[in-house]
Amino acid sequence: MSLLEVERLEARYGLLAAVRQVSFSIEDGERVALVGANGAGKTTLLRAIAGAHPHASGRVAFDGVDIGGLPAHRRVPLGIALVPEGRRLFPGLTVEENLLVAAGRGRAGRWTVPAVTEAIPMLDPLLGQRASTLSGGQQQAAAIARALVTNPRLLLLDEVSLGLSPVAVQAVYESLRSLEGSGTTVVLVEQDLTRALAFADRVLCVLEGRIVLEGAAGTLTREQVTEAYFGLHHGGAAATGEAV
């Protein structure tokens, strides 16, 4: 049984279908990169899985249980955590207070505040600082730590490197190394194809709300992903049998 199963999922903004009949599954411990151009539907798909955006039709099952009717705050204790685009920390709270708020709403597990600051050392000297005073890279690391202290089985990361300097991006990806060996399943939305292909076990490419290419990261070339990314070659999904 897959940890996450998405079946013919559709999510809308009014009459606009942002996610169109999407189906895929993710195995326990897998790392999946979700790539695509701006407006492809990646963020809406992640938010629908997390319960932060209602879906119009279809099914989302987590560990074999249909969770489509559960709001986001009830999915967190099950083991689903979202690091949203823009980080969305509580700006008036310190880093430590942001972490403690999240820890009180998650599952018991290895990820405590001391554990995440040990795994992400850049946060330790920042614990007493207000989130509003942090740089973009520091905020992203804090947002990842905030998700980790809920002890997720499934971690959803939206636009990890968006708006960050190359140095900050490198620091954030070093923070993600703390997940190695933890067994945490990760779905990563990333526009940097080089980093996405290096990080992931599997890649899903989204175009106009549909998955148009799916495959193991080690078997897909950058050219294949780029063509699917921009809609230049619609036959790529046929190679995996995953056109939706």
Could you read off the pLDDT of 138-188 as tens digits, one per residue? 998 899 999 999 999 999 999 888 777 888 888 878 878 777 777 899 999
For residue 53, is pLDDT > 70? yes
Share of the chain above pLDDT 90, in %: 64
Average pLDDT over residues 94-110: 93
For residue 242, is pLDDT > 50? no
Of the candidate ranges 20-24, 37-41, 170-174, the one whose mean pLDDT is the lowest: 170-174
Angle at 68 between CA 242 and CA 176, to 5 degrees: 65
> What is the residue extent of each domain of the chain?
4-239
CA dihedral 28, 184, 74, 158 (to 10 degrees): -110
Average pLDDT over residues 44-69: 96
Average pLDDT, the chain: 89
Contact 32, 200 (CB under 8 A): yes
Return the higher-pLDDT residue of 124 and 173: 124
CA distances from 8 to 160, 175, 226 (A): 26, 34, 25
CA distance 138 to 95: 10
Contact 195, 173 (CB under 8 A): yes
CA distance 115 to 149: 9
pLDDT of res. 241: 33
What are the percentages of helix, strand and coil residues in the chain, rounded to 5? 35, 25, 40
CA distance 72 to 53: 9
Say which CATH architecture domain 4-239 belongs to.
3-Layer(aba) Sandwich (3.40)
